Amino acid sequence: MPRPRTDRTRRSVLIGLAAGIGGAAGWAATSALDDREDRRADERARDAPNPDAVEPRPYRPPEGAVPVREPRRYYYDDPGDTDGQTFGDLYLPDSANPAYPVVVLVHGGGWLDSLGLTYMENQARDLASFDVAVWNIEYRRVASGGGWPTTVADVCNAVDHLAEISAGLNGRLDLRRVVVAGHSAGGHLALWVAGRQGLPSKLPGADPVVPVAGCVSLAGVADLLMAERAGDVYVHRLLGGRPDERRERYVDASPVTHVPTGVPVVCIHGSEDTVVLPEQSEAYVRAARQAGDNARLTLVPGGHDPWGDITGEVWNSTRETLLTMARRSPNPAG
C-alpha cells in the first residue's frame, strides 16, 4: 500500500537536509524515520484480522421449524436373529447443522408387541423439525422374543448403535448430546438407559458405548415391585413371574434400584394417570435426589398419555424440555 503523502513529504525534506548537511546527522535522521515507519507497519499488521486465526462461527439453530427428511431405517442387530424387530428410524432435519444433538424415543405398550414404534412417529417428526436428530427405536417385546433381559438389552444396543450410524454420516450426530425419552414401559426403558454407567456387569447394558446426557421419563415405571403391588398386569409378564418367585429380578430390573445415575432426569407424569400411578415418578425423583442426582418432577394435566396430541400444551412443554436438555453444552469430560 502506498504511504500517505505526508510521509513522502517529510522523507523528502529530511533527505534534502541530509544532502545539504552532508554529514552523519542527516542520514541518522532518515534512518530513524525508516525505523519508525517499519514499527508502524508491524503494528498495523498485528492489528489486522488474520483469517487463519479466526475461529469458525458457531452454528445457530433456526428460530422456526425446518423441513424433515424422510426417516431412514437402520438395523442395530441381525434381523434374521431377532425376527426383524431390532431396528430404528432416524429422522434428520434438512438443515446445515454440522452436529445434530440426538433424542432417542422409546415407545411403551406394557412391554408387549401390541404397540410399536409407529406410536411415536408424530413426536419424532415434530422434534426433528426443531433441528435435532431423532432415533425412534423398536425392540423385541413380550410374546415376540422379548422379556427380561432381552427387551432391556435391545434398547441399550439401539442407543449404542448411534456410534456406527454417526460414523456413516461423517460424524453428523453429536454423541456427547444424546437424550433418551420414553413413555410408560418405554419410560422404564429410558430410565434404565440413564443408569447404565453405574450398572454391575451382570445386568444388561452395563459399560455403554454411547452414554446419554439426559433422560425424560413420561409416565415411566421406575419401581417394578411398586407397580406389581398397585395391580399392574404387565410387569410379571416382562419378568417371567411374580415377586414371590422372582423377587431379585424385580429389584434388579427396577431403575430406582440403580440411582445415582449421574445423569439429569426429568419425570413428567399425568396427575390423573390410573395406569401408571404418579407415585412412580414421585418415588423415583425422591430417591434420585437423595442419592445426589439432578432429578425433577413435573405433574401435568391429564391421564396416562397427554402427549399424544402434538399440538397440545403438554406435548409443547415436554418438547421444550427435551430440546433444552439436548442442546445443552456437553460436559467437556464427556
Same structural domain, 134 and 95 = yes
Are residues 177 and 221 located together in one domain of the fold? yes
Q: What CATH code is carried by the domain that includes residue 246?
A: 3.40.50.1820
Q: Which residues contact 46 (CB under 8 A, 6 or more apart)?
A: none
Q: Are 177 and 97 in contact (CB under 8 A)?
A: no
The count of domains in the chain is 2
Answer yes or no: is pLDDT of 6 > 90. no
36 and 92 housed in the same domain = no
Same domain, 161 and 260: yes
Candidate from 2-11, 34-43, 233-242, 289-298 with smallest mean pLDDT: 2-11
Domain hosting 187: range is: 72-327
Domain-located, residue 249: yes
Q: How does pLDDT run across 19-46, given as a tens digit for each residue?
A: 343 443 343 434 444 455 555 544 443 4
Answer yes or no: is 251 within a domain: yes
Q: How far is CA 41 from the centre of its chain?
A: 49
265-120-223 Cα angle (round to 5): 40
Claim to verify: residue 21 and residue 90 sit in the same structural domain: no
Both 98 and 206 in one domain: the answer is: yes
Based on the fold, state whether residues 25 and 171 are members of the same structural domain. Answer: no
In a domain, 35, yes or no: yes
150-194 pLDDT per residue, tens: 999 999 999 999 999 999 999 999 999 999 999 999 999 999 999
Residue 152 sits in the same domain as residue 18: no
Identify whether 67 is part of a domain. Answer: no
Tell me, yes or no, whether 14 and 162 share the same domain: no
How does DSSP assign 140-158, residue by residue? --BTTT--TTHHHHHHHHH
Element (H, E) at 290: helix 279-290
User: Residues 319-331: pLDDT tens digits?
Assistant: 999 999 999 977 5
Q: Do 200 and 235 have their domain in common?
A: yes
> Do the domain assignments include residue 162?
yes
Within a domain: residue 62? no
Q: What is the mean pLDDT of the chain?
A: 85
At 208, is the pLDDT very low, low, confident or very high (cuts 50, 70, 90)? Answer: very high
Is 273 within a domain?
A: yes
Give domain status of residue 320, yes or no. Answer: yes
